[in-house]
Structure 1
């Protein structure tokens, strides 16, 4: 029998009031049930919020060094469990072991990072116009925050929301995506083992409409941090704004890599291929558009097609390059876009077929797809696919390449491959994207610098990670001390 995972509310592992559970399946082998989770109700979510609100004062008044010590202990527990966490992530989400191990390590590093930051929280001292007044600022926690996280980075994203929230003295309720909740459940288990006081962090699984809706609407919630689709994120931001909650949403992307004639084409192929097909293309920062100068277009198309055809596909716990989609609906979405692109006249160079039979029979597998002859007004060039599908567009100049890079509704991550320093600087200066990279893939982020997008990729209110990750979870109070 699969393990039944309970919610974590006020320091206790509890069942949902609904008495119902849902199964999480292994996307590489859907005959395997990874675990069962609570189909929680809005009342369950409300109890979690109330527990967090009750715990606010005690946690906020705890010295930062003591909060940091709990986060550090959590990181050490996660580090001790890294192999198990990696295997679990692969089984529930489908990533290869290498990709999963990298994500688990990111979560560990994030907790170590914010454990130290908890000791550094403070304000600034300013000169006053009065000789009898001391003027300074101090950082204070928001109170209780709701954290709504996606399935594609099921431990890293909960970590980069939870760790700064807790470091800053907030209490929290985490609602993970239902497709891959197991590793975030283990994250709460580690916090509990590390001695986190009751009610400070709470964990509730269930539907977005039932649980997420309660979290965004509840008057006890002072801030909402969401990562997911633009459609849902927009609704979350609008709901949170009704009673002036602080809100932060990181959402979709349609990320370009511009390839210029000065680039080494083989290097460009590797950069684009890794960005487009890594983690099965299931990353908001994945490269889905290669915008290639006509002088190297044919050579690039040939090279990236060969790259895609050499990718070994299979279960993530085997020695493969690419695992399955996380769910059947995600797989169907990718296949639908392949059909749309063909109908609109793009040329399918390779891939785009569902893999079936033998080891693929019970999994959500698809061949990575490369499309050439793509026009910028095609849906394949404008809409987020969230799968291993690359659209290759031809341009005749750097200026045209930059224009196409910006000519979408999204602006999350963008890169250029060039040996021309002027092009590199102009791209970084003018690309409409929250992350700009030169001679690097669009995926991959450092944890100590801000991350976030422009346009429909983000509410563009606060950034995540680094010091910026603490800004969202704190308010600044200015103190005038007349002595």
Structure 2
């Protein structure tokens, strides 16, 4: 029997006024319903925003250390429920048990991190050029933060938006993605148990056209943080900035790994395969382009094909090498890109077929002989599909790496320190990795992209995550 979930508004679990619901199902077993959620509308969202606005002043006036204690306790509560959260994430989103457990742990760590950071907020003292004057800054919350989060990291991304927003003293309204909202409900439950006042966090499920659009456009929302596709993100940006809201967007990626002539092909294949096929390729930072020097190209292709062929997809609960796509539409999109790549003349070296079993499973795919102008080299696939592109030298490799509209994460595999330094300087990406996979992020450093991967306004995570949710007031005190 599936769970019956509700919206969380003003400290209470409540049904949508529409009376309509939607279901989440197990992507490895689509006949199994995991939970039922409210199909909310604009009116439900407005109620949540009103609750947040009413609660915002009290929470803003709460001392930072007290706010921090709530977040720290929330992290501890999530830690106690880690196994249940991991299983829920696997069954709604499809990750393997190891991947889901790692993501849940990240959310736990994020709440502990911002729990400690909340005590440091306040401002700085400066030396005044005038006598008998105190000069200092005062850090204040913005008010109400509207958060719109994706399905591919359904607990980590909400955590790295919710925790800094609350640490800074803001009230929050969040719309989790409809494919996997359950773990956000669990965050709300933990925060309430940890002592968060009623109305400070509100969760509303439903379509982006109703819930997301209302959050982005409502006059009582002061800041909007969105993670998702570039197309939707641009719409959110246009709506939110009409009345001057602060906006933060993190969107798509077409992430390259440049494999230099000095690289060990086997090591490079390990790094690229981990970045390309982990989490079923459903990561905005996944490596989708291996740009490989011609001297090691053939050896690299053979090695990365071996890595792909060794992957055995299965139900994530059994902790296989790779889980299913999150939905039928995501699977169909990946299969369409495989077909387009073949039609445009790329060579399918391995994979790209569905499995003869129930669920949204696909073999990881490797394409060689990919030209930088092909669709597979330009558009985000969001599946376990790798395009391998040959280049004649390092300069051509950097040009090809930058020859896309996105600029989120990028890597280089090389034993040449000069090449590594040049790559850091010349690549157009917000995250740059040397001899590491493009996926995987430390929680205490800034995260964000360039070009169509980001609004290029504010970064997420670390101190930068707090910057987005605060504003500074400069005070001159002439005594």
Whether these two folds match at TM > 0.5 is yes
Provide the rounded CA distance (Å) in 1 between the counterparts of 2:2 and 2:85.
17
Say whether the 8 Å CA contact 2:292–2:388 is kept in structure 1: yes
Provide the rounded CA distance (Å) in 1 between the counterparts of 2:282 and 2:226.
17
Counterpart for residue 108 of structure 1: 108
Provide the rounded CA distance (Å) in 1 between the counterparts of 2:14 and 2:243.
30
Taking the TM superposition and a 5 Å limit, the aligned residue runs for 1:348-387 are 348-356=348-356, 360-361=357-358, 363-387=359-383
Counterpart for residue 78 of structure 2: 78
Provide the rounded CA distance (Å) in 1 between the counterparts of 2:97 and 2:320.
9
1:343 deviation in Å?
0.5
Counterpart for residue 421 of structure 1: 417
Counterpart for residue 478 of structure 1: 474
Gaps of 5+ in 1: none
Counterpart for residue 120 of structure 1: 120
Q: Deviations over 1:246-274 (max 9, x none)?
A: 00000000000000121111110000000
Counterpart for residue 87 of structure 2: 87
| TM-score after normalising by structure 2 | 0.99
Q: Deviations over 1:24-72 (max 9, x none)?
A: 0000001111100000010000000000000011000000011001101
Counterpart for residue 238 of structure 2: 238
Structure 1 counterpart of 2:451, from 450, 455, 459: 455
Range moving further from structure 2, 245-254 or 183-192: 183-192
Task: Please give the secondary structure, in 1, of the residue aligned with 2:146.
Answer: strand
Provide the rounded CA distance (Å) in 2 between the counterparts of 1:404 and 1:189.
47
Counterpart for residue 137 of structure 1: 137
Provide the rounded CA distance (Å) in 1 between the counterparts of 2:88 and 2:387.
32
Q: Deviations over 1:158-197 (max 9, x none)?
A: 0000000000000000100000001111111111111110
Q: How many aligned residue pairs are there?
A: 479
Distance 1:333 1:476, change over 3 A: same
1:134 deviation in Å?
1.3
Say whether the 8 Å CA contact 2:305–2:366 is kept in structure 1: yes
Counterpart for residue 392 of structure 2: 396
Q: Deviations over 1:108-156 (max 9, x none)?
A: 0000000000001121222222112211111100000100000000000
Provide the rounded CA distance (Å) in 1 between the counterparts of 2:200 and 2:456.
28
Structure 2 counterpart of 1:409, from 381, 405, 410: 405
Structure 1 residue 159 corresponds to structure 2 residue 162: no
Provide the rounded CA distance (Å) in 2 between the counterparts of 1:193 and 1:127.
43
Say whether the 8 Å CA contact 2:227–2:250 is kept in structure 1: yes
Counterpart for residue 469 of structure 1: 465
Provide the rounded CA distance (Å) in 1 between the counterparts of 2:72 and 2:432.
32
The 4+ residue runs of structure 1 with deviation greater than 4 A are none
Provide the rounded CA distance (Å) in 2 between the counterparts of 1:149 and 1:447.
17
Task: Please give the secondary structure, in 2, of the residue aligned with 1:232.
Answer: helix
| TM-score after normalising by structure 1 | 0.99
Range moving further from structure 2, 259-268 or 437-446: 259-268
Counterpart for residue 296 of structure 1: 296
Gaps of 5+ in 2: none
Counterpart for residue 188 of structure 1: 188
Task: Please give the secondary structure, in 2, of the residue aligned with 1:48.
Answer: helix
Counterpart for residue 275 of structure 1: 275
